[in-house]
Amino acid sequence: MKALTPTLEAAQRARHRAAYVEARVTDRYQGARRLVWQNLYTGAEVAGYHGLAFDNLGYMHRVRGQGNYLYRQRVVGPGPGSPFSSWTLVATNLDGPCAIAAYGPRIYIFWVTDDNEIVKYYSHNNGTSWTAGVLSTYTDVRHLAACWWGSTSTVICFALRDNAINAIRLDTDTQGTNEHTHSFTPPSPTVLAQTFGIGATYEDDGPSCQLLLAGRQVDTPYHHLNVYRTWFSGAWIFGPLDSLARTPEGEDVLFSYPEVHLPSSPAAYEPTRALFVEDFAGVAPFSRPLACHLVPGTAWSDSTVTESAPFLDITTPYGLRMQTTADYWWITTPSLVYRAPRVMPAALVLAGDIASIAVNRPGSLIIELDNSKGQYENPGTAGLAALRLRSEVELYLGYRVRGVPGVQHEEIAVGTWWIDSWHYHHAPNITRFTLTCTDGWGLLQAWTPRYQLRWNDVPGAPYTVAHILARILARVGVHLDPAPPQPRSSAIDNFYPDFTVLPGQKGDTAVRRLLATVPDRLFFTDAGRAQTKDPRPAEAPAYEFSRWAHPVLSGRYGHQSITTRVRALGRDPATDTRILWDEADWDALADGVDDLAQVYDPNLTTALQAEDRALAMARLAELRADPALITVPPNVGQELYDVVTVIDPVCSVDRAYRVLSDRIDYAGLTRVRLFDRHPQYDHTLTLGAP
Give the closest residue to 368 by CA, choosing from 684, 677, 682, 668: 668
Q: Is 297 left (phi over 0), alpha (psi -120 to 50) or beta?
A: left
H or E stretch at 510:
helix 507-515
Count of beta carbons in the 10 Å neighbourhood of residue 76: 12
Residues β-bridged to residue 665: 358, 682
What's the pLDDT tens digit per position in 92-131?
A: 999 999 999 999 999 999 999 999 999 999 999 999 999 9
How far are the Cα atoms of 52, 65, 102, 132, 281 from residue 127, in angstroms, in the given order? Answer: 14, 18, 10, 13, 41
What's the pLDDT tens digit per position in 486-513?
A: 899 999 999 999 999 999 999 999 999 9
Residue 213's identity, in one-letter code, is L
What pLDDT shows up at residue 671?
Answer: 40
Count of beta carbons in the 10 Å neighbourhood of residue 399: 25
Cis peptide bond upstream of 289, omega within 30: no
Cis peptide bond upstream of 186, omega within 30: no
Residue 537's identity, in one-letter code, is P
Give the closest residue to 425 by CA, choosing from 378, 381, 372: 372
Quote the CA–CA distance of 123 and 100 in Å, as a whole number. Answer: 11
Give the closest residue to 261 by CA, choosing from 336, 322, 198: 322
What pLDDT shows up at residue 672?
Answer: 41
Count of beta carbons in the 10 Å neighbourhood of residue 560: 8
Quote the CA–CA distance of 210 and 230 in Å, as a whole number. Answer: 6
Coil, strand, or helix at residue 658? Answer: strand
Coil, strand, or helix at residue 369? Answer: strand
Q: What are phi and psi of 229, to 5 degrees?
A: -100, 135
Quote the CA–CA distance of 210 and 322 in Å, as a whole number. Answer: 14
How far are the Cα atoms of 124, 127, 338, 341 from residue 78, in angstroms, in the given order? Answer: 20, 15, 11, 14
The C-alpha angle 318, 324, 329, rounded to 5 degrees, equals 75
Q: 186 exposed, middle or buried (CB, 10 Å; 0-12, 13-18, 19+)?
A: exposed
What pLDDT shows up at residue 459?
Answer: 67
Q: Which residues of the chain have pLDDT under 70?
A: 459-461, 669-678
Residue 648's identity, in one-letter code, is D
What does 433-476 look like in DSSP terms, one character per residue? EEEEEE-HHHHHHH---SS-EEES-STT----HHHHHHHHHHTT
H or E stretch at 340:
strand 336-341
Task: Specify whether the CB–CB gap between 322 and 210 falls below 8 A.
Answer: no
What does 557-586 look like in DSSP terms, one character per residue? E-------EEEEEEEETTTTEEEEEEEE-H
Q: Cα-Cα-Cα-Cα dihedral of 327, 332, 338, 344, to 10°?
A: -40
Q: pTM of whole model > 0.85?
A: yes
Task: Specify whether the CB–CB gap between 282 and 252 falls below 8 A.
Answer: yes
Give the closest residue to 683 by CA, choosing from 658, 651, 659: 659
Packing angle, helices 507-515 and 465-474, rounded to 10:
170
3-class secondary structure per residue, 83-150? CCCCCEEEECCEEEEEEEEEECCEEEEEEEECCCCEEEEEECCCCCCCEEEEEECCCCCCEEEEEECC
